[in-house]
Amino acid sequence: MRKLPKVDVVIVGVGWAGGIIASELTKQGLQVVGLERGKERKTEDYFMVHDELRYALRYDLMQDLSKETITFRGNEKVRALPMRQYGSFLLGDGLGGSGVHWNGQTFRFLPYDFEIRSKTIEKYGKNKIPAEMTLQDWGITYDQLEPYYDKFEKTTGISGEENPLGGKRSDKYPNPPMKKSPAMKMFEDATKKMNLHPYMMPSANLSQSYKNPDGIERAACQYCAYCERFGCEYGAKADPVVTVIPVAKKTGKFEIRTHSIVRRILKTGNKVTGVMYTDVTTGEEIEQPADIVVLTSYVFNNLRLLLMSNIGKPYNPVSGTGVIGKNYAYQVIKGNAVGFFNNKEFNTFAGAGALGVTLDDYNGDNFDHSNLDFIHGGIVSYTQTGMRPIQNNAVPGGGPTWGKEFKDKSLKYANRYLAVAAQGSSMPFKHHYLDLDPTYKDAYGDPLIRITFDFENQDRNLATFLAGKCADILKEMGADHIDSLKELGPYDITTYQSTHNTGGIIMGADPQTSAVNNYLQMWDVDNLFVVGASAFSHNSGYNPTDTVGALAYRAAEGIMKYHDKGGQVV
Amino acid sequence: MTEENKENPESLSRRKFIRNTGYTVGGLAVGGVLGSLIPLGIAKKNEKAENFNQALMYFTPEQFRIVEAATERIFPSDQHGPGAKALGVAFFIDHQLSGDWGFNAREYMQAPFFVGEKVQGYQGRLKRRDVFDIALREIQNHSMAVYKKNFTDLKGDEQDAILKDFEGDKVNVTTISPSGFFQMLRSVTLEGVYSDPLYGGNKNMDGWKMRNYPGSQMAYAQIIDKDFKKIKPQSLQNHMGH
């Protein structure tokens, strides 16, 4: 194996987390190598981006599943089988990772989230938490994380207005909210009338041109309606390629190697010494030594690398001991309602990924759960992401899905329906976890990650509760016909829900129950940091990226502390 | 820099747009499509060329006719406008089957194969083109068994009945899932109706026109806060001149 010269830091995966770590460390003079398994990405790639088939249906920007996927089963009695085709979530690939094709919805979690166990017990007593629910505090408070949220929001240029029910802010959003479409106005008017607290969704699609604290200038969003699953041709949507990566590159201290898939973390004693990766263009295996290793890929690959490299104590779902793979959580996304309007057409062909109005009245513990059979909740929003024609053909009342009547109705309602949707939180359970699949391998002969996960009563009750709230709002908005979720059903890998997979390498205050400290430094290995939504102990009722960004800024600070002093930095 | 393209005065010039919005990192270009904006010399507008795209890459003529008939039942011609046949959907499907999608090229197709639970998704070893081969033969067989006629010779409602038997798993086929095939046929029909015309379907953008979808526009910043307004559609080809 060819061994390269040692560098200060090697990062594995160059998306949001990797880009932030790289920009912060190189600014302070560290030499950083970023290994990225996919290809280079740049704005000019998106010349032909308004192509629903290529990007939304054929997943042009996503990980090639023929090389690597995950396996899934609902519970331990079932044989896990590979996710052969995309459905439930879409894995990113290439420079910028999933940060290239996100929608840009950039929410802070609630103060409640970070101390969820303590606060639940304090208010409702211990019995409110089901025995199997492995609910934990995060080992950090909202107030501790607030400055890092602020930093990420300024880097990305979030456009928004204060959440009336959110945590305290040290500063306002750097840009004013986006424009309001007529449908958004209807949602706002209706929910105000219902004494709820609507506000403009915090958006990484710029409402105006903006220069961030790193000196990066970007143009305003054009509402072209191609965000989710697409890259932004204007750079108006914050993504790592147009924000943090160029900052790191400009220092001259950041080297990105694309087409480089990291396969093992190398360890001697209780320190890691670097990584082994394969140059996918030649097949050569190469060793990159480093003083500090930072895992910044998606949840599944962060975890896979730890398990394949025998680092940390794997989670055992029977005894509940061990931590690597614990508290896998997701998102309860199906609690929604669709309203059809017979006499009004909307400009829903236009939009932006984070263009919407949202409210927190049913999120976190912002409402009383004493008589409810679940904890937490979710945001309820009307989001105008742009209704592209292949994927948006709803007809009222579950009528035929093909033939004369379908064509007639789907054309009639093409611009006449609005979805009000909840983004439900996902609580951890003892038997929801990630480990290595015993059977299926990737293109390099390494084992795939196996997901064991299903919806619980918590999720079913939450979903129908939130769907009911969505339907109430649509009624107030004047919809002529409303379809809403009546029953959640089992978790299903085939229908798209959300690419908000979380947990597996969770943060906390106690090495017995968490894998990383609140700087995302491994408890077991001082010079290894694992950054991303893999650190979430549960998933909140929001999109995760703001919290991933905030944690990455905090981790960068922790890495500098370690670089200066060594040892555990907490 | 070359002249602005004069052929599309109604559309917002992409080059001008980017120039006006400015996009740099303290002197360091972070991308931008500027470099790729040299006109690629597409055919002049009034040249009435034959549609060379309408030929077969995969199907036999018989398979093509079955697909054309079946997709027309899924998305029929009516008072709103053309159906799947006139929109070129069968050509679209033929072309798709001959590429990545037909070969399941970017999907995990490694053994071992086991029958899974419904929530675990497709677990077969057959590629989409194999599934189509089998299903189209079985549509013909089922049609002969029920009506003693070829599928393409049936009346519309008889064709519907055959398709409904597939949709409801009421045909006795074991090598593929009849309902799985039907769902795939339905999805790929809608793709052919509504994808950019560059793929061979949505002929003349008529799929978009029927639902007042504007296709590929550079910007909606001027109309996002206004009530619905019909906008003349344009396709990706329109960008090639910029």
The answer to whether B168 contacts chain A (CB < 8 Å) is: no
Which range of residues forms the domain containing residue B25? 1-49+219-242
pLDDT tens digits for range B50-79: 889 999 999 999 999 999 999 999 999 999
What does the mean pLDDT of chain A come to? Answer: 98
Note whether residue B144 is domain-resident.
yes
Chain A residues closer than 8 Å to B236 by CB: 48, 50-51
Are B115 and B96 within one domain?
Answer: yes
Q: What is residue A338's three-state secondary structure?
A: strand
Q: What pLDDT is stored for residue B51 in this prediction?
A: 87
For A347, which of B117, B216, B228 is closest by C-beta distance?
B228
Note whether residue B103 is domain-resident.
yes
Q: Do A403 and B76 touch (CB under 8 A)?
A: yes
Q: What phi and psi, each to the nearest 5 degrees, are found at residue A383?
A: -120, 130
Are B138 and B235 within one domain?
Answer: no
Q: Are A400 and A206 in contact (CB under 8 A)?
A: no
Note whether residue B45 is domain-resident.
yes
Are B44 and B65 within one domain?
Answer: no
Are B113 and B233 within one domain?
Answer: no
Chain B residues closer than 8 Å to A181 by CB: 224-225
Are B93 and B16 within one domain?
Answer: no
Note whether residue B55 is domain-resident.
no
Beta strands in A313-387 (DSSP E): 326-329, 336-340, 356-359, 378-383
Are B89 and B190 within one domain?
Answer: yes
Chain B residues closer than 8 Å to A345 by CB: 212, 227-228
Q: Which is nearest to A500 in space by CA: A367, A348, A330?
A: A330
How many CB contacts within 8 angstroms connect chain A with chain B? 221
Grade residue B37 by pLDDT with cuts at 50, 70 and 90: very low
CA distance A458 to A461: 5
Smallest CA–CA separation between A89 and chain B, in Å?
A: 13
Smallest CA–CA separation between A497 and chain B, in Å?
A: 13
B 67-126 residues with CB < 8 A to A: 73-76, 78, 80, 83, 100-101, 104-110, 112, 114, 116-123
Q: Do A350 and B78 touch (CB under 8 A)?
A: no
Non-local CB neighbours of B217 within 8 Å, separated by 6+ positions: A50, A224, B11, B12, B231, B234
In one-letter notation, the amino acid at residue A410 is S
For B109, which of A66, A246, A404 is closest by C-beta distance?
A66
% of residues, chain B, pLDDT over 90: 77
Are B78 and B196 within one domain?
Answer: yes
Note whether residue B14 is domain-resident.
yes
**Burial annotation A330-366 (CB, 10 A radius, 16+ → b, else e):** bbbbbbbbbbbbeebbbbbbbbbbbbbbbbbbbbbbb
Q: What pLDDT is stored for residue B123 in this prediction?
A: 97
CA distance A463 to B134: 40
Note whether residue B214 is domain-resident.
no
Note whether residue B54 is domain-resident.
no
Q: Which of B119, B158, B230 should be substituted to probe chain A, the one whose Cβ sees the most A Cβ atoms within 10 Å?
A: B119
Q: Which is nearest to A435 in space by CA: A11, A72, A68?
A: A72
Q: Do B32 and A235 touch (CB under 8 A)?
A: yes
Q: What pLDDT is stored for residue B241 in this prediction?
A: 76
Q: What pLDDT is stored for residue A463 in this prediction?
A: 98
**Count of domains observed in chain B:** 2
Average pLDDT over residues A518-535: 98
Are B93 and B198 within one domain?
Answer: yes
Are B179 and B234 within one domain?
Answer: no
pLDDT tens digits for range A297-319: 999 999 999 999 999 999 999 99
Q: What pLDDT is stored for residue B30 in this prediction?
A: 41
pLDDT tens digits for range A421-466: 999 999 999 999 999 999 999 999 999 999 999 999 999 999 999 9
Q: Do B190 and A220 touch (CB under 8 A)?
A: no
- Please give the structure tokens belonging to residue A337: 């309602």
Q: What pLDDT is stored for residue B242 in this prediction?
A: 60
Residue with tokens 């290595």: A436
Asked if residue A174 has a cis previous peptide bond (ω within 30° of 0), the answer is no
Note whether residue B71 is domain-resident.
yes
ipTM over 0.90: yes
Q: What pLDDT is stored for residue B29 in this prediction?
A: 41
- Please give the structure tokens belonging to residue A117: 């166990």
Q: In sequence order, what are the beta bridge partners of A71? A: A82, A450
Q: In sequence order, what are the beta bridge partners of A271? A: A268
pLDDT tens digits for range A258-304: 999 999 999 999 999 999 999 999 999 999 999 999 999 999 999 99
Q: Which of B30, B208, B227 should be substituted to probe chain A, the one whose Cβ sees the most A Cβ atoms within 10 Å?
A: B30
**Which structural domains are found in chain A, ordered by start?**
2-565 (3.50.50.60)
Are B176 and B155 within one domain?
Answer: yes
Q: What pLDDT is stored for residue A399 in this prediction?
A: 87
Average pLDDT over residues B192-217: 98
pLDDT tens digits for range A377-419: 999 999 999 999 999 999 999 889 999 999 999 999 999 999 9
Are B10 and B71 within one domain?
Answer: no
Q: What pLDDT is stored for residue B38 in this prediction?
A: 42
Are B13 and B87 within one domain?
Answer: no
